[in-house]
Amino acid sequence: MEFYLGNYWYLLLLLLIPVLVFIISRYLKWKIKKRALFANSRFHDSLFERKSKFARYFSIFYSIAILFLVLSIVDILEGSEEVSTRQKLNNVIFMIDVSNSMNAEDVSTNRLQEAKNVMIQTMKKLKNDKVGVVIFAGQATSIMPLTTDYSSAENFVSAIETNTIKIQGTDFLKAMEVAVDKFKNTNRNGRKIVLLSDGEDNEGHEDEAIKLANKEGLIVTSVGIGSEEGAPVPEYVYGQLMGYKNDANGQTVLTKRQTEALSKIAQSTGGTYIDGNNINDAPDQIVEALSKNASSSETMVKSQNASHYYQYILAISILFFMIIYMFNPKRDLNI
């Protein structure tokens, strides 16, 4: 623990010491001059009381007493301390799938809304971690830089829609490349990714994505959204439901959650696969996964409730004043 003065201007009180020394010096010279005027020096022993042996140290002791008195006053007036704390911090990028299959309504309102709810609830449980958001389908883009402003992050997440990216598909590699670019100025030991997707329409680039993640030290926690039974894919035009996606034969397409690629990415990067359909459990599981292998960061925090030591400093000052009092019976500047 390192002691720190909140305002160094208080140390100007130490100028009282040379001022005091100057006053005492001028007084002694004046007193000697007055004695010389009163009588010849050979009569001083008989006319004036003999000074004590302690008298020669009087000025030094008095200066020390004043010094510690000033230091105790400074500590009372203002003091703080800088405390070094070690915290486990992460830089977390949420990569969310916004392909059309995320409109399927087999969970909650739909898969995308379920994924957004999981993200928001997870952010509410984080403390000091920085978070960013990357959205992807057949392409990927960053919509929010790394930040600890969770309120702003929630606004960004709430505005995510499936029509944000025009090129469809589920290309994990494109998303990973954007995440790597966002991580370039961060601590390598605290890079985490939370990947939320149904795994549908996978472009088959998960091996390249895994290779890139391992190269950059990224740990991926993948969250699967959607049911194995599947659901039709709604098609919207200007927010209006126009029907459901059909295949070449005119049959309604069912989209199902594909967990194979999601699990593979998580396991190959040292992360965890989590079932995102349970909004009550998934956020806690994600936070627990993120807390593993978090990087340690030492932070200096200035405490306003500083540890004061003026009692001990003042005690030293009082001790010297007591010595002066006991060994100077005249209680004056008789040198």
Under a CB-based contact definition with an 8 Å cutoff, are residues 58 and 323 in contact? Answer: no
Task: Give the list of residues 6+ apart from residue 85 with CB closer than 8 angstroms, or none.
Answer: 298, 299, 301
What is the spatial distance between Cα 119 and Cα 87, in angstroms, rounded to a whole number? Answer: 23
91, containing H or E segment: strand 91-97
Mean pLDDT of the chain: 80
Under a CB-based contact definition with an 8 Å cutoff, are residues 251 and 243 in contact? Answer: no
- 86, amino acid identity: R
Residue bearing tokens 């392409």: 139
User: pTM for the complete prediction?
Assistant: 0.64
pLDDT tens column, 180-205? 999 988 888 889 999 999 998 777 88
Domains of the chain: 7-79+308-326 (no CATH), 86-299 (3.40.50.410)
CA 272 and chain centroid, separation? 25
Q: Could you tell me which residues are beta bridge partners of residue 296?
A: 88
What is the spatial distance between Cα 33 and Cα 283, in angstroms, rounded to a whole number? Answer: 87
Among 142-151, 226-235, 240-249, 296-305, name the one with the lowest average pLDDT.
296-305
What is the spatial distance between Cα 106 and Cα 232, in angstroms, rounded to a whole number? Answer: 9
Among 94-103, 126-135, 323-332, name the one with the lowest average pLDDT.
323-332
